[in-house]
């Protein structure tokens, strides 16, 4: 079964990069200048932000709407990620994800969790395929197992 890992859509965040520090702070958003080449995974490009990049740290509601699994968590988005245009290939786990310990969570169309697994990122391809093969599975959410942050979603392609 083939799948596509989907980054977040840049359009929903574009306006944030034109806000002042005070306006960002009012929304609970922190602007950071990246000081090392790892540890700032951009959810728009699915790549680690590079040293010197401007990133925003904000809360993102990755399971909206009513339901027992409604959830949000902190994410980084980079200004450079706004222009990211290339998706990872079908059935490809981006290096930013592959080097982490992951929590993979399978959901149905009603946002009910069907299963969850913890794995090394290098094992993600096989486990994503297994989870998407579950009856009723609509998508798999990919999280960092260590910090719990939402990274991306995998959908059948």
Positions in the chain whose pLDDT score sits under 70: 85
51-93 pLDDT, tens digit per residue, is: 999 999 999 999 998 899 999 999 999 998 988 767 888 999 9
Burial class (CB in 10 A: 0-12, 13-18, 19+), 138: middle
Rounded Cα–Cα distance for residues 9 and 28 (Å): 20
**C-alpha 118: how far from chain center:** 16
CB-based contact 5:93 (threshold 8 Å)? yes
Q: Which residues contact 69 (CB under 8 A, 6 or more apart)?
A: 63, 107, 111, 112, 113
Sign of CA dihedral 29, 46, 149, 135: positive
> pLDDT value at position 127?
98
Q: Report the side by side order of strands in the sheet with 30-33.
A: 30-33, 54-63, 71-78
Domain that holds residue 77: 3-156
Nearest by Cα to 128 from 95, 91, 89, 97: 91
Total-model pTM: 0.94
> pLDDT value at position 84?
73
What domain count does the chain have? 1
Rounded Cα–Cα distance for residues 80 and 74 (Å): 19
Nearest by Cα to 131 from 105, 102, 157: 105
């Amino acid at each position: 079964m083939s799948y596509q890992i989907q980054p977040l859509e840049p359009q929903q965040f574009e306006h944030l990069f034109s806000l002042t520090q005070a306006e960002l702070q009012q929304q609970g958003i922190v602007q950071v200048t990246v000081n090392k080449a790892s540890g700032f995974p951009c959810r728009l490009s699915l790549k680690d932000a590079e040293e010197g990049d401007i990133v925003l740290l904000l809360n993102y509601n990755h399971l909206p709407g009513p339901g027992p699994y409604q959830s949000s968590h902190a994410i980084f988005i980079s200004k450079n990620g706004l222009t990211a245009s290339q998706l990872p290939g079908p059935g490809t786990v981006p290096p930013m994800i592959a080097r982490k310990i992951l929590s993979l969570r399978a959901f149905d169309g009603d946002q009910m969790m069907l299963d969850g697994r913890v794995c090394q990122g290098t094992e993600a391809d096989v486990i994503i395929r297994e989870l998407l093969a579950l009856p009723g599975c609509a998508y798999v959410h990919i999280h960092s197992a260590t910090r719990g942050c939402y990274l991306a979603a995998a959908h059948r392609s």
